Amino acid sequence: MVYGELIYHPVVTKLLKFLDSSASREKLLRLLQYLCRFLTYYTFRRNINIETIQLIKKIQSSIAISRKPLRFLKNLPHLKNLNKIYSNELLDSTIRIGDLIKNFGYALYFQFDTLQWLKLLGLLTSKNSGALYFKVDKLAANFWLIGLTGSIITDLRNLKISYDSNKALLNEINSQEKTDGSITSDEKLIVQNNELILKNNEKINLNKRDLFKNVLDSLIALKGSQLIDLNDGVLGFAGIITSIIGIEDIWNATKA
């Protein structure tokens, strides 16, 4: 009886559905990979024995290889989105540009991510690919950075739209009030506006969260593009935070 109650508990059911998704498994592996990256830096700074550092690096490399097949052909949805967004002229122009940049960047990023996988497997070598072998990691980071830039543009634009909408709604509410502080007969409109403000505030919080995640990921991409120099402690910590946010997003979207 207790076993049955445990197995069919809503949390367990949700967890099983969560783990059944390749996206959630990839995010969990990403969390472990960046945790290893941070621990490598931490153990090195603490002068812990070299065997421990090498073991952590080996685990990190194994996880990196394991993540790659879970993202195979992930560029295809972004190519599809590119065509859909380009054809949609009703979108806000700034959001449209941001989404186009985002999907263009991610489509090519995941393409080069596949090449990185082949490189890790030893199928892509300097002999059969020439200069691409040495450039593939940097090119992947470059296109990831482009995709993140598009996401940041979209986040900033969505924030502005929500803030402007709230400002207009507040002005409309204030206009319904008389100078003596009493309310006009259109109280229903005021209630509706307050509900819209609450919904906008939810969107603002989500966009701020997404913007925070994209900025942190940009630090990792900038390092990969060799545009800035950051240690593995900073990059590992940034990756841990963004991985947790990604896991939380997938968990919240999973139906029990």
Domain ranges of the chain: 1-71+231-256, 72-225
**Percentages (nearest 5) of helix, strand, coil residues in the chain:** 85, 0, 15
11 residue type, one letter = V
Burial letters 79-115, b for 16+ CB under 10 A, else e: bebbeebeeeeeeeeebbbbbbbbbbbbbbbbbbbbb
Between CA 231 and CA 249 the distance in angstroms is 28
Q: What percent of the chain has pLDDT over 90?
A: 74
* Contact in structure between 159 and 208 (CB atoms under 8 Å): yes
pLDDT at 112: 96
Residue 84 has pLDDT above 70, yes or no: yes
Cα–Cα dist 201/204, whole Å? 5
Which tokens hold the place of 115?
Answer: 């090449």
The token pair at 167 is: 């400002």
The pLDDT score that the predictor gives to residue 2 is: 63
- What integer pLDDT is reported at residue 10 of this predicted model? 81
pLDDT at 157 exceeding the cut of 90: yes
Position 100, amino acid: L
Collect contacts of 23-26 with beta carbons under 8 A, ≥24 apart.
23/70, 23/250, 24/247, 24/250, 24/251, 24/254, 25/70, 26/67, 26/70, 26/71
For residue 109, how far is the Cα from the chain centroid? Answer: 14
pTM, full prediction: 0.90
pLDDT for 182 equals: 54
Which residue is associated with the tokens 């996401």? 151
> Tens digit of pLDDT for each residue in 161-209?
999 999 999 888 887 665 445 555 567 788 888 899 999 999 999 999 9
- What count of other Cβ atoms lies within 10 Å of the Cβ of residue 126? 11
Q: What is the pLDDT of residue 129?
A: 83
Three-class SS of residue 82? helix
Residues contacting 25, CB < 8 A, separation 6+: 19, 70
User: CA-CA distance, 113 to 117, in Å (whole number)?
Assistant: 6
